[in-house]
Structure 1
């Protein structure tokens, strides 16, 4: 059994694809949809799937991280994950990740390769994902969240994601799992798709993302690699400029 939390807010146009991709997986799943009080057609989508869901609710909440923790806490699956409502799993992804995790019982988390889907153009490209290494994790986030599968025992050991974080709850979680339960293990196959569109938090709050990421690295690694002070500020500025130009 895999427990899947699906946090969502006004993502009705994407939600059906996300849920379809979960229920087409080849392993038993229990799915909890945590909607933050959407005003679009999200409730219609949720109603369409309600008989398949292990649980759902729609009301104002304390944010994405708190919603993820809420959903996973309600489940009983040996493995847990969350899928944002604008992302989706590739066919057979969870069964392959579960098999890999079962074959490596000391790994607190396994993670696969992901694709970015550029919503504006319909193009795909590979997310930067690589085998786990602490120094590399300090230089950049080398794990793509939609492609992760976590043992419930490890999740509970670190207390889930930090509800005080807005942008880097996943990056912080990889660090805490590594420090408390052992290094995550890379599974080299494609397993999920991350949808890139102009309404994502990463696109609309780049400076906050950068600030939280630096604080996360400093807290867990003890120092911030020079790369963060040189390359990353330029990247934040450039991508913000491109976004304004294209929108």
Structure 2
């Protein structure tokens, strides 16, 4: 990129930022229905953070790649599902993991003494999974309780309203086996509604460590890590109730562990009214501020955050539409 082109690009970005700032100061005009350009809309709501992208449609699991064959001596995977009053979704979550038929899996549901029939659902599973139902101090505590004393080579947690896509465990295990220098992996995600119908997709560009210091773009439900990461940086920080995954990710990145975005859809993120992401967003804003200050050494403004993540978001838009136009297949 030559200096003249870079200068024009920076000037254009500054103009866009000024337009965004103007819109933010005139929310009453926006609410009244003032039209915005498509570029400005992409800036404010990039595809990876736009959950409902099209009318609900059946989730066609056969459209995704089949499960790969598993290498000999498959590494042991430990997965934990923290749960509290999510019986209406928990069965689908459990099925999405158990149906993978991964030969060396430890799967545990840590329930916070739910009162919605979760315990009966878990009892009905017999000995096919490990589970406990007891009071805890929140999601972070439940995850740590679930992993306590468990020996494994690969770790992950899946929330009680999300789902793995078929073949994910075999694919991740094979990748880790073939890439011993990689410590943490994640992939593309599918958005589903409360009925399990597909409403959107997030296709991500390759990992960007700098952008990650400003915004957490890693889909937690698709993330797996080696045991050595957990042993080195420690368990989930139970002082966080919203951004605990970003805290863990940033600690791992600061410790020098290698991240890779895998070229595959790995899991589904469910959108519904009662989900924690929506109901505790105010807490999330505070926790995200804490993490940015810790990672960056200062408290960035919204304009600084946008400027820092703009290159990543631009690449994400390219990947999104390349997939949408069938130029990229996963």
Q: TM-score range by the shorter chain?
A: 0.7 to 0.9
> 1: CA distance between counterparts of 2:214 and 2:254?
17
Does 1:79 find its partner at 2:135? Answer: no
Does 1:131 find its partner at 2:206? Answer: yes
Alignment of 1:197-208 (within 5 A): 197-208=272-283
Equivalent residues, number:
230
Aligned mate of 2:106, from 30, 41, 54: 30
> 2: CA distance between counterparts of 1:88 and 1:142?
18
Pair 1:228–1:8, CA change in 2 (3 A):
farther
TM-score by length of 1: 0.87
Does 1:50 find its partner at 2:50? Answer: no
Say whether the 8 Å CA contact 2:190–2:198 is kept in structure 1.
Answer: no
Q: CA deviation at 1:181?
A: 4.1
> 1: CA distance between counterparts of 2:174 and 2:108?
23
> 2: CA distance between counterparts of 1:12 and 1:101?
33
Pair 1:191–1:121, CA change in 2 (3 A):
closer
> 1: CA distance between counterparts of 2:282 and 2:258?
29
Say whether the 8 Å CA contact 1:139–1:228 is kept in structure 2.
Answer: no
Aligned mate of 1:115, from 182, 190, 193: 190
Pair 1:121–1:62, CA change in 2 (3 A):
closer
Paired residue for 1:4?
A: 79
Aligned mate of 2:142, from 67, 75, 89: 67
Larger mean Cα displacement after TM superposition, 174-183 or 60-69: 174-183
Pair 1:18–1:228, CA change in 2 (3 A):
farther
Aligned mate of 2:254, from 155, 163, 179: 179
> 1: CA distance between counterparts of 2:208 and 2:299?
15
> 2: CA distance between counterparts of 1:227 and 1:7?
32
Paired residue for 1:17?
A: 92
Paired residue for 1:236?
A: none
Point out where structure 1 has 5 or more consecutive residues left out of the alignment: 232-247
> 2: CA distance between counterparts of 1:226 and 1:186?
28
Report Cα offsets for 1:77-98 as digits up to 9, x if no partner: 2101001110000000111111
> 1: CA distance between counterparts of 2:204 and 2:302?
18
Paired residue for 1:237?
A: none
Q: CA deviation at 1:226?
A: 3.4
Larger mean Cα displacement after TM superposition, 33-42 or 135-144: 135-144
Report Cα offsets for 1:48-103 as digits up to 9, x if no partner: 223012x3211111211111111122321210100111000000011111111222
Alignment of 1:134-213 (within 5 A): 134-213=209-288
Say whether the 8 Å CA contact 1:177–1:184 is kept in structure 2.
Answer: no
Pair 1:45–1:217, CA change in 2 (3 A):
same
Q: Secondary structure at the match of 2:124?
A: helix
The two structures, once aligned, show a CA RMSD in angstroms of 1.9
Point out where structure 2 has 5 or more consecutive residues left out of the alignment: 1-75, 307-330
> 2: CA distance between counterparts of 1:200 and 1:141?
18
Paired residue for 2:172?
A: 97
TM-score by length of 2: 0.66
Q: CA deviation at 1:138?
A: 2.4
